[in-house]
Amino acid sequence: MNTLYFECNMGAAGDMLTAALLELSDNRQAFLRKMNSLGLPGVNVYAEQATKCGITGTHMKVVVNGKEEESIDEAIQHEECHAHSHPHESMHNHGDKHDHNHGQHHHTTLSDIEHLIDTLAVSDKVKSDVKSVYTIIAEAESKVHGHEVAEIHFHEVGSMDAVADVVGVCLLMEELAPDQVFASPVHTGSGFVRCVHGILPVPAPATALILQDIPSYGGQVKGELCTPTGAALLKHFVTRFGDRPVMATKAIGYGMGKKDFDQANCVRAFLGDSHEQREIAVQLECNLDDMTGEDIGYATEQLFAAGALDVYTQAIGMKKSRPGILLSVICRTEDADRLASVMMKHTSTLGIRRQELSRYVLQRETNTVETVYGRVRIKKSSGMGIEKCKPEYEDLASIASGKNIPLRTIRAEIISKL
C-alpha cells in the first residue's frame, strides 16, 4: 500500500509541506511550470536548495508582484487576525513569509478565495481540497475572534502567498496519490510571540483550535513552529497521528523552513510501501457495578455515535463479591480524550483506564452493486495477501423482510454473483 508519512518534529508550515512533497515528485519542473501557469494573481513560485544542520533539502520561494515576502523580526513576527484584519498564517519566520506593511494592501474574504480557486485550471478534487483547508482555517479564526466566517478577512498579498502553499500541497498530493497518509505528533514550539496587538501564547489560538484532537506537544524550542495553514493541511489530509509505520521507504523529502534552530528546521516526508497494515489504537476501560442494563446500553450508543471504533461489555466479579460489567472502548488516538469525556458523562465511573494498542487492519471500502433484489452495499477489505467481501447486513435484512426470504439465501446468492 502506497503510504505517505510526515515527520513534524519541527512543526509544519505550508511552504515546508510543499517543499517536502516536491522532493518526492518525479517531475519537479513540471510542478513549478504548473504552479506558475495557474494564474494566481502576481504569484511566481520557485524551489531553492537549502541546508539546515548539514542536511540539504528544498525551500519554496513565493514571489508576489515581483517581491518575496520577507520574514519579520521574532519580536514582531506574529499578528493575530480579527474580523477586519488578516489571519497570521503568512507572518511566521519559521516557514511562511509575511509582508508586514499591511496598511497598503486590500483584504480578501473566504468567499473571494473560493471564487479564485474556482477559476484555476486544476481538477475538481484539488479545488475541493483547497477549499476544505481554507474552511478549516476560517472556522478556527472565527471562533477565536467571535465573528462569522464570512467576516474573516485575509490580507491580500499574504493570502496569495498562503494560497500558493495550499494549492501546491493539494496538487502534489493528487500527483503522489498515497493510499494512506500518516503523521507524527506535531511539535508546536513553546513560549510567546509578540504582535502589534500584544503578546500571544504558542501555539497561537487559531492553531491550537485546529490542532484539537491531534496529538501535539510544546517541547523546548522557543518560538512558533506550527502555523495555521500547516495545521489545517495536516488535519485535512492525515488520517492517523503516531509512530511511523513499518514501510519500505522509496523516497524521502526535506521541506526546509527559513529560520535556524539547534535542530534541523524541516518537515520530513517518507513515501513507500506499507505491507503490514498496523495502526495504533487506544483502549479505554472502566468497571461498573451500579448501572442498569438499559443505562449501559444507552452509554454504548453514545460512544458509537461519538466515533468509537468498537464498544463491548464483559461480565466481571468486583470487590465485595459484587457482579459487575467491564465497559471497553476501542478508538483512534486523536479521539481518546473526547471519548473518555463521553464515558464519564454517560456512566457512573469515577476513573477510566487508558492503554495504547497496536492492531492489524485491512484496507476497507464500500461499493454499491445492482443485484436481482435491488441495490446492495458490498464491503470489501484487502491487505496482507488477503481479500474479503461481505454484503451489508442492513441491506440484506431489509430485502429479507420485504420479500419474506431467509437472509442466508439472499446472502449466498449475492456472494455467488460477485
Domain ranges of the chain: 2-273, 279-360, 363-416
The predicted pLDDT at position 102 comes to 35
Q: Report the C-alpha gap between 274 and 270 in whole angstroms.
A: 11
pLDDT, residue 154, reads: 62
**pTM for the whole structure:** 0.66
Q: Are 96 and 165 in contact (CB under 8 A)?
A: yes
| DSSP code of residue 95 | S
* pLDDT tens for the chain, residues 1 to 418: 799 999 999 999 999 999 999 999 999 999 999 999 999 999 999 999 999 999 999 999 999 888 775 433 332 233 333 333 344 443 344 554 433 333 334 457 888 999 999 999 999 999 999 999 999 999 998 888 777 777 776 654 357 889 999 999 999 999 999 988 999 999 999 998 776 567 889 998 989 999 998 999 998 899 899 999 999 999 999 988 988 988 899 999 999 998 999 999 999 999 998 865 677 899 999 999 999 999 999 999 999 999 999 999 999 999 988 999 999 999 998 899 999 999 999 999 999 999 999 888 887 888 888 888 888 999 988 877 788 999 999 999 999 999 999 999 999 999 888 7
- pLDDT computed for residue 418 by the predictor: 79
The candidate with the shortest Cα–Cα distance to 267, out of 299, 307, 237, is 237
- Which residue is it, cell 494512506? 180
Q: Look up the CATH architecture of domain 279-360.
A: 2-Layer Sandwich (3.30)
Residue 305: partners with Cβ closer than 8 Å, 6 or more residues away: none
Residue 122 three-state SS: coil
Pairing of strands 248-256, 266-273: antiparallel
